[in-house]
């Protein structure tokens, strides 16, 4: 009589393991295109000799991540045959990303900048749509605080591994193979990522909105009528602001401001960051299993803001490798912890009926700083210099931390634990 429960338990453990493994792999697929329309593209344009202001304006390519709530209702409302409500969208977007990356490899920034920018914008749209579907998929699949803690940690781990592949390995390979070949390699990786989409289980069935109008109106009404909605929006926008400000031109800072080579930036800034970011994300998930969400958001938020001081220190050390290792290690480890806590909060805020639209809305609000601070950061750097700029970014964390404290009771109410 005991064999049946044991078998059920084994099957349940196997299903949970499969869920978490595919969540990590899809986190990788979600993160891979971002750097290729941001920091890696920034490095390509920098080495091609474009001006700092032009590179700063190129950060606006990522506006798709801000405006993705506009088409997120389509992902909530419509499903592809066979693959279910989320996986079909993910697969389509992965193939679209691969096509854009290959297309970008066919042009040169000096003579065909407009073509590269157009394809980069299209890449960002496919990538943002993949994020919509993947975020909804993991929100639907992971339903308890414990699952969200590990799911958020593994998503961050996969995402950071991808960012370090497309933003770190890419720079190293670019010194040897050139940027066109690098973008072709990344296109091939996106094609391989489709295997994770085919392997991931479907989430438990939840009735989609009745029609497209309902898919637009109902999730927005559910979100914007929640108590203290303006305070929630302020928290979402402001929590990662210090990170967004400091990282807006980080690749250009390390290459041009300090004088590191592309290989040094790729090896240290990205691969040391890989180990640190993975460790930080997993440590953040482990800590979230043992501490409440409010103290985690506060402690991790303060720590991730203070790491920006390290970049100011690099302006004094010059292109010193041990200094870069230390700064990158701390920044990525603590940043991974903060992102894990914030990701768990976002999943808890979403209504499963409208998880694609609501997660897209929340994550779009969260990346406003990352997308729009590039031009402002470039202007500020030209006015006060790199060192004072990075010091000033520490203070931009204060409003977000204050909002966590202001909403502490409401955040705690979302953080209901099960045995």
| Backbone phi and psi for residue 42, each to the nearest 5 degrees, phi listed first | -60, -45
Which sequence spans correspond to the domains of the chain? 3-414
pTM confidence score: 0.69
User: CB–CB of 154/347 below 8 Å?
Assistant: no
**Residue reference for tokens 């970049």:** 311
Q: How far apart are the first and last CA of the chain?
A: 25
Lookup: tokens for 211: 């029609």
Going residue by residue through the chain, which has 419 residues, state the pLDDT in tens, using 9 for 90 and above: 334 444 433 444 544 667 778 888 999 999 999 989 988 998 898 888 877 777 777 778 888 888 888 888 888 777 787 787 789 999 999 999 999 999 999 999 888 888 999 999 999 999 999 999 998 888 888 777 777 778 888 887 888 789 878 987 898 899 899 999 999 999 999 999 999 999 888 776 666 666 667 777 888 888 888 899 999 999 999 998 888 888 778 888 998 889 998 888 878 876 788 789 889 988 998 998 888 999 999 999 999 999 999 999 999 999 999 999 999 999 989 998 998 899 889 888 887 777 778 888 888 788 777 677 777 888 888 899 999 999 999 999 999 999 999 999 999 988 765 43
Contacts of 186 (CB under 8 A, 6+ apart): 32, 36, 101, 165, 166, 170
Q: How far is CA 395 from the centre of its chain?
A: 22
| Backbone phi and psi for residue 71, each to the nearest 5 degrees, phi listed first | -115, 0
Convert 177-188 to b/e letters by CB count within 10 Å (16 or more is b).
eebbebbbbbbe
User: CB–CB of 327/253 below 8 Å?
Assistant: no
Cα 291 to Cα 66, 217, 341, distances in angstroms: 31, 36, 11
Lookup: tokens for 17: 């393991």
**Residue reference for tokens 């993991």:** 138
Lookup: tokens for 336: 């991974």
User: How many Å apart are CA 130 and CA 134, to the nearest integer?
Assistant: 6
The predicted structure's pLDDT at residue 122:
96
The predicted structure's pLDDT at residue 209:
63
User: CB–CB of 33/123 below 8 Å?
Assistant: yes
User: How many Å apart are CA 225 and CA 113, to the nearest integer?
Assistant: 44
User: How many Å apart are CA 180 and CA 187, to the nearest integer?
Assistant: 11
- 3-state SS of the chain is CCHHHHHHHHHHHHHHHHHHHHHHHHHHHHHHHHHHCCHHHHHHHHHCCCCHHHHHHHHHHHHHHHHHHHCHHHHHHCCECCCHHHHHHHHHHHHHHHHHHHHHCCCCHHHHHHHHHHHHHHHHHHHHHHHHHHHHHHHHHCCCHHHHHHHHHHHHHHHHHHHHHHHHHHHHHHHHHCHHHHHHHHHHHHHHHHHHHHHCCCCCCCCCCCCHHHHHHHHHHHHHCCCCHHHHHHHHHHCCHHHHHHHCCHHHHHHHHHCCCHHHHHHHHHHHHHHHHHHHHHHHHHHHCCCCHHHHHHHHHHHHHHCHHHHHHHHHHCCCHHHHHHHHHHHHHHHHHHHHHHHHHHHHHCCHHHHHHHHHHHHHHHCHHHHHHHHHHHHHHHHHCHHHHHHHHHHCCHHHHHHHHHCHHHHHHHCCCCC
The predicted structure's pLDDT at residue 417:
52
Q: To the nearest 10°, the Cα dihedral for 116, 119, 121, 123? A: -130
Beta bridge mates, 84? 80
Q: Which fold is adopted by the domain 3-414? A: Growth Hormone; Chain: A; (1.20.1250)
**Residue reference for tokens 């700029």:** 389
Contacts of 346 (CB under 8 A, 6+ apart): 135, 236, 359, 362, 363, 366
């Amino acid at each position: 009589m005991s064999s049946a429960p044991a078998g059920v338990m084994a099957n349940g453990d196997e299903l949970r393991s499969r869920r978490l493994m595919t969540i990590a792999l899809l986190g990788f697929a979600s993160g891979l295109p971002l750097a290729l329309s941001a920091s890696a593209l920034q490095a390509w344009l920098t080495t091609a000799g474009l001006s700092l202001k032009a590179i700063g304006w190129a950060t606006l390519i990522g506006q798709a991540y801000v405006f993705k709530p506009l088409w997120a209702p389509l992902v909530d409302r419509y499903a592809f045959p066979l693959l279910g409500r989320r996986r079909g969208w993910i697969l389509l977007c992965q193939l679209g990303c691969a096509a854009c990356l290959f297309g970008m490899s066919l042009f040169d920034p000096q003579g065909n900048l407009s073509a590269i920018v157009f394809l980069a914008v299209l890449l960002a749209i496919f990538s943002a749509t993949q994020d919509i579907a993947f975020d909804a998929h993991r929100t639907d699949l992971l339903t308890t605080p414990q699952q969200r803690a590990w799911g958020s940690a593994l998503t961050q781990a996969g995402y950071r591994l991808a960012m370090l592949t497309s933003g770190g390995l890419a720079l190293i390979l670019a010194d040897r193979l050139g940027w066109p070949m690098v973008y072709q390699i990344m296109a091939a990786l996106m094609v391989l990522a489709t295997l994770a989409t085919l392997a991931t289980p479907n989430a438990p069935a939840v009735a989609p909105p009745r029609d497209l109008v309902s898919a637009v109106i109902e999730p927005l009404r559910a979100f914007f009528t929640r108590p203290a909605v303006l305070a929630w929006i302020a928290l979402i926008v402001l929590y990662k602001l210090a990170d967004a400000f400091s990282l807006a031109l980080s690749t250009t800072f390390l290459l041009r401001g300090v004088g590191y080579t592309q290989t040094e930036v790729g090896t240290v800034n990205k691969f040391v960051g890989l180990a640190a970011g993975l460790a930080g994300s997993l440590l953040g998930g482990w800590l979230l299993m043992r501490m409440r969400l409010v103290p985690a958001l506060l402690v991790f938020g303060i720590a991730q803001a203070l790491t920006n001081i390290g970049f100011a220190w690099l302006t004094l050390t010059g292109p010193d490798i041990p200094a870069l290792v230390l700064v990158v290690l701390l920044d990525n480890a603590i940043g991974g912890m903060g992102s894990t806590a914030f990701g768990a909060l976002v999943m808890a805020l979403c209504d499963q009926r409208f998880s694609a639209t609501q997660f897209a809305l929340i994550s779009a609000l969260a990346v406003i700083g990352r997308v729009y601070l590039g031009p402002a950061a470039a202007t500020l750097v030209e006015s006060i210099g790199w060192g004072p700029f990075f010091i000033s970014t520490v203070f931009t964390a204060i409003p977000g931390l204050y909002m966590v404290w202001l909403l502490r009771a409401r955040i705690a109410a979302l953080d209901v634990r099960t045995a």
